[in-house]
Chain A
Amino acid sequence: GQNIDQPTEMTATEGAIVQINCTYQTSGFNGLFWYQQHAGEAPTFLSYNVLDGLEEKGRFSSFLSRSKGYSYLLLKELQMKDSASYLCAVRDVITGGFKTIFGAGTRLFVKA
């Protein structure tokens, strides 16, 4: 089966760097996503990793290690608007296509 673990909550200070970890177990791994979700809003796509290594996109970077079943999202120069939930999701190969499984999310609080 599939299982995704990420911390429930994290707190960080404006201007700092924060790393949100995600571990997963899946039978047919085909990529890992990070989505951002502000309270009461829809998830929005941040990143996609399918190969090992670091993908950088502005203040956000995402890392993947397939052998360890591990990923992290790195947020630099934190801003108050970064306070949100960050969802780790894994795409699994199933009969007939793919299935995306979401973790419960990590609620990030950015304080002044």
Chain B
Amino acid sequence: EAGVVQSPRYKIIEKKQPVAFWCNPISGHNTLYWYRQNLGQGPELLIRYENEEAVDDSQLPKDRFSAERLKGVDSTLKIQPAELGDSAVYLCASSLDRSRYEQYFGPGTRLTVT
């Protein structure tokens, strides 16, 4: 069974530029999560999807961050414009549904904003 796939693995951009991250969850997993992880910290939830509906986006900085999950499968997280403080690892995770406790994480995208 293929795991959670993310791309790109690494991205370096200048501040004020846009950037997008892509995630393909495990087949059949209805719940998808985007986390941000700063160095030495645990993952922080940005947004959670149940199928194509965003059900928890309270921690998503909506002035510059946006996300979508068309057709309830793949998801894209976008930052526009990026700021220096956005440098972090962006992790995507999925679970079978919201009642299933185990989350499967992708390898993450390491973003560096210069």
State whether B55 touches A41 (Cβ < 8 A): no
Docked CA distance A96–B49 (Å): 12
What residues of A have a CB within 8 angstroms of the CB of B108 in the complex? 42
Say what secondary structure dominates the interface of chain A: strand
B91 at the interface (CB under 8 A from A): yes
State whether B102 touches A104 (Cβ < 8 A): no
State whether A97 touches B98 (Cβ < 8 A): yes
CB under 8 Å from chain B, chain A span 79-102: 87, 89, 91, 94, 96-102
State whether B56 touches A99 (Cβ < 8 A): yes
A31 at the interface (CB under 8 A from B): yes
B43 at the interface (CB under 8 A from A): yes
Say what secondary structure dominates the interface of chain B: loop
Chain B residues bordering chain A, tally (CB within 8 A): 21
Chain A residues bordering chain B, tally (CB within 8 A): 23
Docked CA distance A42–B5 (Å): 11
What residues of A have a CB within 8 angstroms of the CB of B101 in the complex? 31, 33, 48, 91
State whether B56 touches A104 (Cβ < 8 A): no
Query: Taking beta carbons and an 8 Å cutoff, which residues of A are in contact with B?
Result: 4, 31, 33, 41-45, 48, 87, 89, 91, 94, 96-105
Task: Give me 17 other A-B pairs in contact (C-beta within 8 A), A48-B102, A99-B45, A100-B45 excluded.
Answer: A31-B101, A33-B101, A42-B106, A42-B107, A45-B104, A87-B43, A89-B42, A96-B55, A97-B48, A97-B56, A98-B98, A99-B48, A99-B56, A102-B43, A102-B44, A103-B42, A105-B40
Query: Taking beta carbons and an 8 Å cutoff, which residues of B are in contact with A?
Result: 4, 40-45, 48, 50, 55-56, 91, 98, 101-108
